[in-house]
A and B are shown apart, each in its own frame.
Chain A
C-alpha cells in the first residue's frame, strides 16, 4: 500500500484528468503508474469519453479492468484523452482539445486511444489502457511508435467500458515494450460474469522469442490501394526479418477485405446510435433551460453537447437500422462480417499469424483529415480483426520520414500468446 506523486508534465494534452496523488496497493504492478482511457469507468474519477455531454460525470463504480488494476497494485495516474466516444482516428474530436503526437507535435497521435499512446510515447507512463473498436489501440500505437494489443473479443471484460460499438470493441494494454504490454494484459484478462460476452481465458504468459517453425501469412490486400508505398516497403522489410528468426513467410489473400470497411462502419454506427441514446439530458451533462416538451429538450441537449462526428455517426446508424433499410445495411453488414470470419478461419488453417501494416500511412498532420470518408479509409487494415474478434498487436517496425510505422500481427482466436511471442522476437532483432 502506498501513494505516489505523479508530476509528469503533460505537454501533449494526453490527459483529460490527472491524478497527481495516486494511491496504490500491493501486487505485480505495485506502485506502477498506469494511465486509463477516459471511456473506462473509474469510481470517483471523472470519466468523460472525450465528450462535453459527460463532462463532470463521475462514475459510482469501477470497470472490471480497473478493479483488476487496483488489485494488482497499480497507481491510476489519470484518464487519457480520446476521440469523442471513440469515434475517430486522430484524437482531434475530443471536447477537451486534440492530443499531439510526442514524436512530432505537428502530427496527430492517432486515435481513438491517442491520449494513452501519447502518454506512453512521451514517457509519462510505462503502460496504459486503451480500447479498440476498429483499430483504436493499434492505430495510435503505430503512429506514436509504441506497442498496443487488441485482445480477442471477450478476453477482457467490457464491464464499465462506456459502449461505442459493443460487438466490436474491447479493452487492451499499451506500452513501450512487448513485455510491458504482456504484463499489463496478464492483469486485465480474465472472466467476468457481469459481461455476458466475457471468456474464461486468463492470460499468464511470459513472452518468448522462440518462434521457429511459425507460419506467417501476408495478405496481398494489406498492401493494396491506399497503402503508402514507403510504409508498405518498411513493413515488408520487417516481415522478412521473421525468416531470420526461423519462421516461414507465405503470401495469402483476404478477399473479404473488400467489404470489411463498409461492414464495420454500418455495424459500429448502428450500435453507437443505440448506445448513445441514454445521453438525453435527463441524467448527464449540463442542465437545459426549461423547454416546454421533453422531446424538444432531448433534441436541443444532444444537438448542443454532442460533437459533429458523433452526431454524424448517430445519424448514419439510425438510418442503417431504420425499417426498410435494416436488411439492406445492418443485416448485410453482418453477412459481410461473417465473410471476414470465414476468411480468417481459412487463413488460420494454414498459417499461425497474419502480418501486414497496422496503418496505411504514418501519422497525419493535425487538421489534415477534414473529410470524414478519407479518415474512415485509414481504418481499412485494422477493422478486419474487430469484425472477426481475433487478437492483433501493433509493434513499431521502423520509420518513414522520421515518423513511426507499425507492424500488425493478427492471431487466432485466444492466441494472444503467439502474436506476443512473434512481436517480442521481432522487437529483439529490430535494432
Chain B
C-alpha cells in the first residue's frame, strides 16, 4: 500500500464571517481593542425575552461562499436550536442550522499531492452563532473562578464540512489555504483576525476506526496534528493494536494530540427548528448575489494578461493581498520581472520576517525591480537593497527610494573595465588559486570570481567578469 492513499481525512471548518454586526443583533463585531463584555446587548447576552433578528449581510456572505464553492442551494434554509449546557453559552442552546442548511453538495478544486487538479467535495455549509469566551483566571488548571466574555457571543460563523476526500496533511493544508483565499476574495473573511478559523479534523487509516481532532486553531496546526495522528495510528496498527474511535485534542505547543477521554456516547443536542426565526428563502436570494473574480479565474487571467508562468500565477493568486500587490506592481514595472521578484524573492524575505505583503512600500519595490531589470544593479545587490528596505520598514523608518540609495551608496553595476584593477589585485593576491586553475581545477576560477565580487561589494556582474578573469590567467597559448 502506498503511504498516502490509505489515509482518509475530512474537515469541518468554522470561519468567522467579517460582517460589521453580529448574526442576530446590532452589536459591533469589532471588539478587538475593547474590554470584555463591551459589545453586548439583550440578544447576544441571551437575556430573557430577547429575540434573534437575522443579519441579512451574514446570509448574503454565506450564499456567496455557497456559490463560490459550487454548492446546490435549496429553496429554503432554516435555523435550529442545538441544545446543550455550557457556561459560555448564554441561552443554553446555540442557534445553528441542522437538517435544512444553507447549501449542500459542492466542491473546491485544489492541487493534489501528485500535482494534478483535484476536486474536494463539500458536504454542506451552514451559518451559526459563536458562543462567548471563557477566561480562566490564573490558568485552566489552577483557576479559582472563570469569567465569561460575551463580546464573541453571536459572531457569525460559517461551518464548511468536507467529504473525507483528503489524502495527506499537506493536501489538507493546501485545501485550507485555497479555502481561505477563496473566502478572502469574496470579502467575507479576514484570515488575519485572531480566532477567525477553527478546524475539526476526522482522520482514519483505511480499514480502521476514525478519530476526531477537535478545535485546531491554525493552518500549521492542522498539518501538524494530522501528521502526528497518522504516525500514531499507523504505529498502533503496525504493533497489532487497534485504533479506537474517539475525540482527541491537539496540544499546539507540544505538537501532539491527546485523548479527550470522554465516553464516546453521542451527545443528544435535541435539535428543533428555531421558533423565533422564519425560514430563509435562499434559492431566490442566491440569484441576486454577485461574485467577484475568484483565485482560479485570477490565476488564469494573470497568465493571459501578464504572460507569467503557471507556477508564478498560482503563487501570486494564492493570497488576496499578494495578488493585489502584484497587480499594482505590474502596472508600474515589467510584469514578468515583477512576478519573478515577487514570487521568488520577496515572499521568502517576507516569510523570514513574518511581515505581511501589505507593509511593502509598492513604489520602492517597483523601483527596485526596474533597476534590476535595466541591469543597473546586479541581482545580488538588488537582494541586498531589498533586505535593507524591508528591515527599515520593520523598524518603522521611512526607507530611501532604491534608485537614490544605489546612487548614494555607489552600488551601481560598474563598467567591466573599471574592475580591471581589482581583478589584477585579486590575481596577485591569490597565486595558489591561479596556479590551480592553470592545472585544470575550474573551481579555482569560481573562488577568484568570488574574491572580485567581495572587493566590489557585489557590484560586479559575475557573468561579465568570469570570462575576463579566465582570459587574464589562462595558460600561455591557451584558447
Q: Which residues of A contact B (CB under 8 A)?
A: 40-41, 47, 49, 54, 57, 59-61, 63, 158-163, 166-167, 193-197, 270-271, 273-274, 276-280, 282-284, 294-295, 298, 318, 321-323, 326, 330
Contact = CB atoms under 8 A, between A and B. Distances in A.
Contacts of B270: 273-274, 318, 321-323, 326
A274 B51 contact: no
B148 A282 contact: yes
Contact of A196 (B52, B81, B271): B52
A59 B83 contact: no
B85 A330 contact: no
Contacts of B93: 274, 277
Given A194-B53, A197-B276, A280-B92, A321 B47 contact: no
Contacts of A273: 83, 270
Sorted from nearest, which 9 A-B pairs have the closest CB atoms? A277-B92, A321-B270, A166-B275, A167-B275, A162-B48, A160-B49, A41-B49, A278-B92, A162-B49
B90 interface: yes
A274 B82 CA distance: 9
Given A277-B92, A277-B93, A282-B148, A41 B48 contact: yes
Nearest to B82: A274
B87 A274 contact: no
B81 to A, nearest CB: 5
A184 B93 CA distance: 35
A298 B81 CA distance: 20
Contacts of A57: 48
14 contacts: A160-B49, A166-B275, A196-B52, A196-B276, A196-B278, A274-B81, A274-B83, A274-B92, A277-B83, A277-B92, A282-B87, A298-B85, A321-B270, A322-B270
B268 interface: yes
Given A57-B48, A162-B48, A277-B91, 6 more contacts: A163-B49, A163-B276, A197-B275, A274-B92, A280-B85, A280-B92
A160 B278 CA distance: 18
Contacts of B266: 323
A158 B52 CA distance: 11
Contact of B272 (A49, A162, A274): A274
Contact of B53 (A40, A196, A282, A295): A196
A108 B51 CA distance: 33
A278 B46 contact: yes
Contacts of A274: 81, 83, 92-93, 270, 272
A59 B278 CA distance: 26
Nearest to B270: A321
Interface of B: 42, 46-54, 81, 83, 85, 87, 90-93, 148, 266, 268, 270-272, 275-278
Contacts of A63: 49
Nearest to B47: A59
Q: Which of B42, B47, B81, B271 has the most CB of A within 10 A?
A: B47
B12 to A, nearest CB: 20
A47 B277 CA distance: 25
Contact of B54 (A41, A196, A326): A196
A166 B276 contact: yes
A60 B275 CA distance: 24
A159 B276 CA distance: 10
Contact of B42 (A61, A158, A163, A323): A61
Contact of B268 (A60, A159, A277, A323): A323
B49 A321 contact: no
B53 to A, nearest CB: 6
A277 B270 CA distance: 12
A173 B42 CA distance: 25
A277 B85 CA distance: 7
A165 B259 CA distance: 40
Contacts of B81: 274
Counting chain A CB atoms within 10 Å of each CB, the highest count among B42, B53, B266, B272 belongs to: B272
Contacts of B275: 166-167, 197, 271
A358 B85 CA distance: 39
A193 B53 contact: yes
Contacts of B48: 41, 47, 49, 54, 57, 59, 162-163, 278, 284
Contacts of B46: 278
A241 B296 CA distance: 77
Nearest to A158: B51
Contact of B83 (A193, A196, A294, A321): A321
Contacts of A197: 275-276, 278
B27 to A, nearest CB: 13
A326 B272 contact: yes
Contacts of B83: 273-274, 277, 321
Given A196-B278, A270-B272, A274-B81, A159 B50 contact: yes
Contacts of B271: 321, 326
Contacts of B51: 158-159, 194-196
Given A197-B278, A321-B272, A60 B54 contact: no
Contacts of B49: 40-41, 59, 63, 158-163
Given A160-B49, A162-B49, A196-B54, A278 B90 contact: yes
A162 B52 CA distance: 13
B332 to A, nearest CB: 49
A125 B278 CA distance: 37
B366 to A, nearest CB: 50
Given A196-B51, A323-B268, A295 B278 contact: no
Nearest to A319: B270
A159 B50 CA distance: 6
Contacts of A162: 48-49
A278 B91 contact: yes
A57 B49 CA distance: 12
Contacts of B52: 196
Contacts of A271: 272, 275
B389 to A, nearest CB: 53
A159 B24 CA distance: 13
B95 to A, nearest CB: 11
B34 to A, nearest CB: 19
A207 B469 CA distance: 111
B415 to A, nearest CB: 76
B268 A322 contact: yes
B412 to A, nearest CB: 68
Contacts of A280: 85, 87, 92
Contacts of B42: 59-61
A59 B48 CA distance: 8
A351 to B, nearest CB: 29
A278 B148 CA distance: 14
A179 B85 CA distance: 46
Given A63-B49, A196-B278, A274-B272, A295 B85 contact: yes
A61 B47 contact: yes
